[in-house]
Structure 1
């Protein structure tokens, strides 16, 4: 009872802050008289009512902060009751849909990717009234609070002063090169079902549970599609294509049936993933192209509703894709990162050393073992990955250092990022990155950084600021390349010094790899880089894609994979043939996209790989934020750039 009394005294103080119109003494007396705690159900009902009252204010920010403070008080004495209490409040007050209330607040189980227990963990450690609460209420609670000012902190004390010799990138004539494969965002849909509903009302179509609840939707038998072969696959021994059995009536009970190789409203069937990997190998063989290694920039698991994203499916998705890459690519080293989908529950990752990281250790153990078994990492590197969120540092046979980071450490949907959020490095990843870069700088070793989420896409502001400062400090001499995935689009990001986006201030750039999954409304694609053997700068990239819509009416045959473009040639930039495609080159590309709608349209065509859903940049507000995305690296800079466009 003493602990519960403490809880309610804490709540009384919270309630006075959240609802200043109430008299504090009256509120306290009412609370203590009303809260006759008998069992767990009584606690849940009482705190749920308190959450309702705290939410009654017209001040959405104060209401959100008040709920967090009430939740924190409960979490300190009964964290096990936090999920049920918040889920009840959410449902009773219709704060969100029943599905969203369950996703956000239902306790963790193995059956669905619900995050209520992670929410409770966060509450125990966070400061609701400080930056933590403001940040959470802006990014995780429907922008209930304005975006708080990013703390003015730095990690510059961890690196030495930059010497004059590190102000320039190493030079080369680019005469000797090697090739590197880049694949990203497979998002395997394990339950992809040929003939399932494409025109669905749920977030993920082409599955057994995809339904169409739209009114007056009739079956569209006039499409002319005929690619409905169940059981099509690639033979395990020689990877030859085996067409399955054609469905006799694919339009039965659906308006638009899912074709064999996938659809634009669905994630990738394993058949499409293996088609892409087979094409990589076939292309390399036909062109006598020797890849030295591959990078994979994350996301193995699909985008299905959290109800259907269970632990077993997450594990299988990760294992299947790693297995498929190994079986197709053979002895080619693959250096991977994990995406925001590659964890359970979705998007969650806890810092080591604060009591909750054991919830996610299974994933690091499993993947580090796979990386070692497949020969991608040695024993020491795999052991490091086990205890650093699957991140690692490896030096290739070519003497290039590759540093892999887990971007869930700065992902804005990860609950564990919202406690002690003014700490620039609660996960320890930035110190790891800085230490590796300092060591490489001493030895004039060039470095590639690979991670999943581009900072301006889904990062929190402070981590993106720190990331930008690190890149600025170690560019252009040490950092030779930065590679992301996540957006599913073929894109790039530029980092500038100061506020001026001029050619004199451009610092470095990042490549964003396009996805194999067609979700949402993109053609599947992959690329490879031509890399300078001396400087490890990118001399060119070559992109390949498949017109997925052409597989809808090809009677179940394999997709045709086509050359799409060369980055050096496509934008018609005057550029020396011996110079790498560095940040200066991409600055010139960005300026074309900014000033000329025809180049903006070209960018969009390439971003979505000429899919039927490419926007028309000449109409309305289409494509207006493209330049902001391409010309910024830090969240605050992007927000500042797009603010006038959103008015």
Structure 2
């Protein structure tokens, strides 16, 4: 209903007046066919590299990698194993393939987690910084002229998850490593709290949040009302962007909302989730999209306003690492993606996702990265705007929905087409996709 009514609204040639409280902002509108009249911009999204320097193929499957934590590797080869984090060769092959894709995108977002999943005693602050430096240098070597906008992940610190609310050695090192890409004002807040904002295109601002401050395992921030002052900073930043008539893209490692694989579980602490969702609703008119990592899976979310109208598209990129725990039924093939956007009004238009069939790569001893899907073509969408994704999500709710079956295969990055998501699994997936706050999620998940 909301999407149909929005399509029917007439476009105003001189802009639309948007009300926020008692303040009024004039926002210029693009022509109806702006996707044809203007250029298409592109940016890469890479996440969860999780380099494991210990990875090596050996006769003892329990000794292949530290990240398997003593569990035997399943079928190790030169490009990795589903029980292990990424060997450097796999990460290198990903960036090498990116260079072959033309035209080259305008910039890259990198949503965190460079170190491996290993026991706490096998890492240190120095080793974490060393891995972050290695990954930063690898990206620079492949894309010396491309701006890159990183976000810190929960493994980009030692001990993992415990990112603090004030300056420290990791934040300071990140600022030094990324000084080539970020401006002084961005580096200042990065050093102090692990977050920043920067204008990345004319009238397009990127906000990189440190959502690890809100992550449940982070003991440092328990019972804090505004860790590192990031909530107030975020509101102030978005308000300034609104007054300057900027569009905003939000990036972070840990996503908002509910996990698609764990019922009734938010990715960050629920109290922080509610606050972020409210802020994002309040400024949904200027936020072009959200981009996250952390879950290692490919998923979407749709932020709706309090009346149920879809207002913002959110995307969770799958990981480059293929690792899974011994208890998990499935994993993901390594992946990265490219987004297409309208350079005139910064509407998000499409996703091109690339993946590596890890089993075949190991068998053939060659990393043959391929285009897994183009989102508009895979699901018959006009674009990846909130209304288009909302209609897609509605189709998932149908019994035996072929669209959902395809979505779930992409969720695993074509890991295993024999894995079935039953009705309980599907309900958890769909509710996490459509309901980001506790009230709407509870209503969704308790549908008889």
TM norm. shorter chain > 0.5: yes
Q: Residue deviations 1:557-577, cap 9 Å, x none? A: 32111111111121124x3xx
Indicate conservation of the 8 Å contact 2:284/2:311, yes or no: yes
Query: Partner of 1:344 in structure 2?
Result: 158
Q: Give the Cα separation in 2 of the matches to 1:508 and 1:265.
A: 35
Indicate conservation of the 8 Å contact 2:67/2:117, yes or no: no
Note the 1:253-332 alignment, pairs <5 A. Answer: 258-284=76-102, 289-332=103-146
Q: Which moved more, 1:164-173 or 1:487-496?
A: 164-173
Using the size of structure 2 for normalisation, the TM-score is 0.85
Q: Give the Cα separation in 1 of the matches to 2:69 and 2:292.
A: 31
Aligned alpha-carbon RMSD (Å): 2.6
Q: Give the Cα separation in 2 of the matches to 1:169 and 1:602.
A: 34
**1:334 aligns to 2:148 (yes or no):** yes
Task: Name the CA shift for 1:613/1:344 in 2 (closer, same or farther; >3 Å).
Answer: farther
Query: Partner of 2:392 in structure 1?
Result: 589
Query: Partner of 2:372 in structure 1?
Result: 564
Q: Residue deviations 1:574-626, cap 9 Å, x none? A: x3xxxx42111110111111224322211111111111276213x56443311
Shift of the alpha carbon at 1:426?
3.4
Shift of the alpha carbon at 1:429?
0.8
Q: Which contiguous aligned blocks of 4+ residues in structure 1 show a shift greater than 6 angstroms?
A: 166-169
Select 1:532's aligned residue among 335, 342, 356: 342
Query: Partner of 1:185 in structure 2?
Result: 48
Unpaired runs of 5+ residues, structure 1, are 1-158, 213-253, 353-357
Q: Based on CA coordinates, which of the two structures has the bigger radius of gyration?
A: 1
Query: Partner of 2:175 in structure 1?
Result: 368
Indicate conservation of the 8 Å contact 1:189/1:270, yes or no: yes
Shift of the alpha carbon at 1:334?
0.2
Give 3-state SS (helix, strand or coil) of 1:600's partner.
helix
Indicate conservation of the 8 Å contact 1:196/1:206, yes or no: no
Q: Give the Cα separation in 2 of the matches to 1:591 and 1:483.
A: 22
Shift of the alpha carbon at 1:380?
3.4
Q: Residue deviations 1:44-88, cap 9 Å, x none? A: xxxxxxxxxxxxxxxxxxxxxxxxxxxxxxxxxxxxxxxxxxxxx
Task: Name the CA shift for 1:432/1:595 in 2 (closer, same or farther; >3 Å).
Answer: same
Query: How many residues matched?
Result: 412
Using the size of structure 1 for normalisation, the TM-score is 0.60
Shift of the alpha carbon at 1:168?
9.7
Task: Name the CA shift for 1:426/1:316 in 2 (closer, same or farther; >3 Å).
Answer: closer
Q: Give the Cα separation in 2 of the matches to 1:614 and 1:470.
A: 40
Task: Name the CA shift for 1:256/1:349 in 2 (closer, same or farther; >3 Å).
Answer: closer
Q: Residue deviations 1:216-235, cap 9 Å, x none? A: xxxxxxxxxxxxxxxxxxxx
Q: Give the Cα separation in 2 of the matches to 1:197 and 1:208.
A: 15
Shift of the alpha carbon at 1:644?
6.1
Select 1:479's aligned residue among 265, 287, 294: 287
Query: Partner of 2:436 in structure 1?
Result: 633
Task: Name the CA shift for 1:313/1:634 in 2 (closer, same or farther; >3 Å).
Answer: farther
Q: Residue deviations 1:458-517, cap 9 Å, x none? A: 2111211111111111112x111111111111111111223x65xxx1121211111111
Q: Residue deviations 1:31-55, cap 9 Å, x none? A: xxxxxxxxxxxxxxxxxxxxxxxxx
Give 3-state SS (helix, strand or coil) of 1:299's partner.
coil
Q: Give the Cα separation in 2 of the matches to 1:490 and 1:162.
A: 40
Indicate conservation of the 8 Å contact 1:185/1:516, yes or no: yes
Q: Give the Cα separation in 2 of the matches to 1:564 and 1:448.
A: 24
Shift of the alpha carbon at 1:627?
0.2
Indicate conservation of the 8 Å contact 2:125/2:170, yes or no: no
Query: Partner of 2:279 in structure 1?
Result: 470
Task: Name the CA shift for 1:398/1:348 in 2 (closer, same or farther; >3 Å).
Answer: same
**1:385 aligns to 2:190 (yes or no):** yes
